Amino acid sequence: MREYLLTLCVAAAVTYLLTGPVRKFAIAAGAMPEIRARDVHREPTPRLGGIALFGGLCAGLLVASRLMNVGDVFTLSNEPRALLSGAGLIWLLGVLDDKWGVDALIKLGGQMIAAGVMVWQGLTILWLPVPGIGAVALSPVQSTLLTVALVVITINAVNFVDGLDGLAAGMVCISGIAFFMYAYRLWFGYGVEQAAPGTLFSAILIGMCVGFLPHNIHPARIFMGDSGSMLIGLVMAASAISITGQVDPDVITNTTGSVRSTVHEMVPVYIPLLLPLTLIAIPAADLVLAIVRRTWNGQSPFAADRGHLHHRLLEIGHSHSRAVLIMYFWSALIAFGTVAYSARSSSMWILLAVVLLSAVGLVVLLLPRFKPRAPRWAQSFVPPRYRRRKVSPVDAQLDGSQPDQTPEALGLHGATAVGERSSLPERRSVSSSR
């Protein structure tokens, strides 16, 4: 665990330190496109944040290759090299798109090429655990098609959800943490060595997102752009493929004692392939809805619009920060609920907790204008936005609200009171002129 944490911290530190210089470079290079109709930010913001994310990926892989235990992944498997090759191609394509713009079909072709390079180097799905049957081996053609499809779908799902400050990085980070917990359990709980690459990829992915988030939270100082969103989508897909396609279910059968139990333990792994990813179910659902919506309206599936889930949250009245937190909540509920169910499927408390949290999430979702306010005794301990605003008698008369009857609000404290009394007629005249 310590080596994984070290790799995570290195990836986070390098990403964080590189983001500042990358922002200056993006401004100097003119990678600040004009605000489009579907954008929610008000000022041009530099892109190319994927450069810092790619630096964090390279640093994490480099440090991991020098560690005693995690370093065995690089000698026993070719998957880290396959990931770096595919990530380099998709990152370069994203940089070109952030600076000059790339046609949607060209980007789709580039994504398929990057996925094909990873398949060619061994990062592919070899078999699928099917309930009631066991492991089903795939032919080379089936393996290639399924792997490429999963990579392309995951990349575009993350790319589609990257519409608010900190949204994509936070959701992928949450999913990465959940996937790391499951992969680490396979690796050290069942002794499945094939789970080591996926565990490493998840740790590095978490570090990349954690290092980039401080620069990307609202109001964002830099965007990750397609160079970043497609990159973290590819790394997440590589983690899922490494676990699902490389882990031999027979190894787990030696521990569980039956094929049925083994397939049940593999549920969180093969469900991501069928949905295609429960760990990023929200972006995947947004992707499917966007394709259906655009096709129904006679538009290209790649045409941008303002119909994504985060746009709809803003339209019904949620603030920018609250919309992001709501998306975080649902992603965490689905991701961690899946992992918890895989570990304790016989416990009814997990199901009840998921149902209860879902109800809470629906209440918050349907109350966009709810603004919590702290009680008076806690005013000095909470941020200003949660404090009760004091209303003066003049404002109360104009607005029809109840004034704050405290001496401070009435202006009855020395010289200030005289000043406020003398200004009352002027404020009334100004207000009436409006």
Local confidence band at 204 (pLDDT 50, 70, 90 cut-offs) = very high
Higher confidence at residue 362 or residue 302?
362
Cα-Cα-Cα-Cα torsion 152, 59, 336, 332, nearest 10 degrees, comes to -80
Decide: 242 and 123 in contact? Cβ < 8 Å: yes
User: In the chain, pLDDT over 90 holds for what percent of residues?
Assistant: 29
Burial letters 167-189, b for 16+ CB under 10 A, else e: bbbbbbbbbbbbbbbbbbbbbee
Cα distances (Å, whole numbers) of residue 248 to 127, 151, 161, 270 = 8, 21, 33, 13
Q: How many residues does this entry show for the chain?
A: 434
Lowest-pLDDT range of 197-206, 218-227, 297-306, 315-324: 297-306
How far is residue 272's CA from residue 239's CA, in Å, rounded to a whole number?
11
* Residue 249 one-letter amino acid: P
Alpha-carbon span 79 to 73, nearest angstrom = 8
Answer yes or no: are the C-beta atoms of 253 and 262 closer than 8 Å: yes
pLDDT of residue 74: 92
What digits encode the pLDDT tens for the residues 226-247?
999 999 999 999 988 887 766 6
Residue 385 has pLDDT above 60, yes or no: no
| Residue 194: alpha-carbon gap to chain centroid | 26
Query: Which residue did the predictor score with more confidence, 36 or 161?
Result: 161
Higher pLDDT, residue 334 or 52 = 52
218 CB contacts (<8 Å, ≥6 apart)? 164, 165, 166, 320, 321, 324
Mean pLDDT of the chain: 76
Domains of the chain by residue range? 2-268, 376-422
- Whether the CB-CB separation of 144 and 125 falls below 8 Å is answered with no
- Residue-level pLDDT at 41: 52
Distances (CA, A) of 317 to 126, 168, 331, 368, 372: 47, 21, 21, 5, 15
Average pLDDT over residues 49-74: 93
> pLDDT tens digit string along 69-93?
898 899 888 999 999 999 999 999 9
- Residue 391 above 60 pLDDT? no
Position with higher pLDDT, 245 vs 221 = 221
Give residue 370's identity as a one-letter amino acid code. Answer: F
Whether residue 430 is predicted with pLDDT greater than 80 in this model: the reply is no
Question: At 81, phi and psi to the nearest 5?
Answer: -70, -40
